[in-house]
Amino acid sequence: MRCCLVLILMLAMCRPCAAALEENDAPHDPAAVLLLEEAARHNANIATLSARFRQEKKLSILMQPLTSQGYLCVTRSISAPDARLLWAYTSPAPSGFIYENGQGALWETNPAGARPAAPQEAQVITAIVRHILAWIQIDASVLQQTYRLARPEKNLPILVLYPRQQSFFASLEVEFTPLLDSVRQLTFFEANGDTVRIMFTDIQVNQSLPERCSQ
């Protein structure tokens, strides 16, 4: 799968959601607010993060999900307004993007050959980066303003968020690690039943980044 095809899939994922938003003005689940605030405390001082991921996009028109694997690298600095984020697919073919200094760049085969993103591509990258970074340094107050929060299972570290304004997803399920120091899984549910699930493994927080992250 070439990088342009990956972007087409991302653009398809970003179509507006037609779900009614009135319900999302309801009060938060108090248990969900407590979980979010606790997770925010555990994530307040993240400077570096690396992880491997598996991404699955399930489409109603396909029998099998579209799957890909890769790794994620994030560097944050208090003195810099934007983080550096490298999102790298390793299969089915090497491709991905780099976000740095507020700008996105796309690459195929090797991150060293990245090219500046076109305007439409840049919008997609920015949207993806925004959702990823929101769960690396959690701003509980902003998230409460943006989403209605629910916690379906009180004994599990899982939040469900419902956008208060029109978004490309109808709801977002966030599963934290048991220590609440990072996110284990993100699942975006679209109004038509399609889903995008991103599962993170080998999560390293505030440790020396692997060599692959320096590209």
In this structure, of 15-24, 56-65, 91-100, the range with the lowest mean pLDDT score is 15-24
Question: How many distinct structural domains can be found in the chain?
Answer: 1
Output Rg (C-alpha) for the chain, integer angstroms: 17
Q: Is residue 169 part of a domain?
A: yes
Most confident of the following: 60-64, 79-83, 122-126, 144-148: 144-148
Using an 8 Å Cβ cutoff, are 39 and 99 in contact? no
Q: Is residue 15 part of a domain?
A: no
Nearest to 58 by CA among 188, 199, 200: 188
d(CA 157, CA 155): 7
Whichever domain contains 169, its CATH number is 2.50.20.10
Q: Convert the pLDDT of each residue in 95-132 to its tens digit.
A: 999 998 888 899 888 888 889 988 888 888 888 888 78
Nearest to 196 by CA among 207, 204, 188: 188
Q: Is residue 58 part of a domain?
A: yes
Nearest to 57 by CA among 14, 4, 106, 109: 14
Q: Is residue 54 part of a domain?
A: yes
Q: Is the confidence at residue 18, as pLDDT, over 70?
A: no
Owner of token pair 């003195």:
79
Tell me which residue range forms the domain holding 85.
Answer: 24-204
Q: Is residue 90 part of a domain?
A: yes
Q: Whole-prediction pTM value?
A: 0.82
Q: Is residue 84 part of a domain?
A: yes
Q: Is the confidence at residue 8, as pLDDT, over 70?
A: no
Q: Is residue 215 part of a domain?
A: no
Q: Convert the pLDDT of each residue in 64-77 to its tens digit.
A: 889 999 999 999 87
Q: Is residue 214 part of a domain?
A: no
H-type alpha helices, the chain = 3-13, 30-42, 119-133, 140-146
